[in-house]
Structure 1
Amino acid sequence: MKKIPQIGLLLSTAILLQACSTDPYTGEKKVSNTAIGAMIGAAAGAVGGAIVGGSNKRKSVLIGAGIGAIAGGSVGFYMDRQETKLREKLQGTGVQIVRDGDNIILNMPDNITFDTNQAYVKPEFMSVLESVAIVLDEYDKTYVDILGHTDSTGSADYNRTLSQNRAQAVAQILVTQNVQRERLVVRGLGEAYPIAPNDTEEGRRQNRRVEIALSPLVE
């Protein structure tokens, strides 16, 4: 049986239970945007295990491609500036931004990015990815990991393939917007890294997502 990051999921479940409220008009359970961000943050350490980041081989490839590295003492400041610019560009888009140490994770829920069971980015979301690409092009001293995720509905093989195709679709758009391909790693992780329980529709909705994880390229 496949193992999942239990600590992150347990934390997310606790936050979800505490943050649910009932709509007085419909009687439906809802989760606030603040709680959604908290769930992603609680699971960030677990999801971090899926981030490739700066392996020696990858670093050598990027340096060889002419991408400079950040001096060790400037990493925090560099990532702070990048985070601020991303928040300015992505405000109101539905993309959630989480800072995890020196990593920045952009969470793009599938309902704003893809139609159900499709791997073609919605036309209305193209401008959002173009905004992301502008910032990535400006702050190019970062690795870019694009991670596709699904809920647990359907077979594991189907979910891995769908998540891979969706992550690849996002990567291709970034490349067409001048983000260097050498910076990118694309991974379809299927249902392996949930940020919410899969036994509710709300939880499954949160788990269906593509993440862009940014890590510093350090000297």
Structure 2
Amino acid sequence: MSYEKYRSTMNESQYANLLLGKLKEYPCISSVETVSFFSSVFVHRFETYLTSISPTTNTVFKAKADNYEGYYQKLLDVLFATDVSIVEAFARAKYYLDRIFYNMTSKGNLNYGYIPEVLLTAEELESELGVTEETVHYYSERGLEITEGYGRKKYPLHNVFYWNKNLWMARLQVLNQAFQSRDRTHEEIKKEVEFTIQEFQFLYKTHFKEHDKTILDPSNLENPTGFYELRPLPQELKGLNKK
């Protein structure tokens, strides 16, 4: 699939760079102002890809944000870059903005609105990644982005970039888990672990411990990463039940 038609226009890129230049002049603005500012920059920088960015209604900003200076500089570098495709630039920039938002808040997420042309159906994403429906579903719960309100087209193109870059996929999963964990109660976490174990047993038609013993070489599985992630869940559930 060619992504060239999703490049930003020069005028919009120039305007985004102008905004970024102003941000460098006033680095001490509040967390709320920083998110608002970057939202505006993103919409102009990626105007052929993105329509809006907004915090969820349950967002709570910290009185004092955790340090995010390293991510801040990396985000600026990506937004100023002109030597990468729009999809790759957005994928990298989105990760850094989400990471900054996480450090600034104690609750909430950022909602991204996309133009329909950059969204894929589940079948199209499966074809792009060369995986099964089960694998797409598995990783959709662990970091691959899904957006609602566009019918069957709900997977943004930048998921392909993350999938093809192991390091970025790992970063995405860690950040996704961090967002999920902070917004859930103890009971919600416990129910999710129980559901994941039941889902595994249903898919493989076997008890988890029995299946674990039959796997001599997990690297031969279609989803070895998922196997390693699932293996400690029964022990994790025991710990949750003791609390």
Whether these two folds match at TM > 0.5 is no
If you compute each CA radius of gyration, which structure gives the higher value, 1 or 2?
2
Normalized per residue, the structure richer in strand is 1
Normalized per residue, the structure richer in helix is 2
Higher relative contact order (CA 8 A, sep 6+): 1
| TM-score, reference length from structure 1 | 0.30
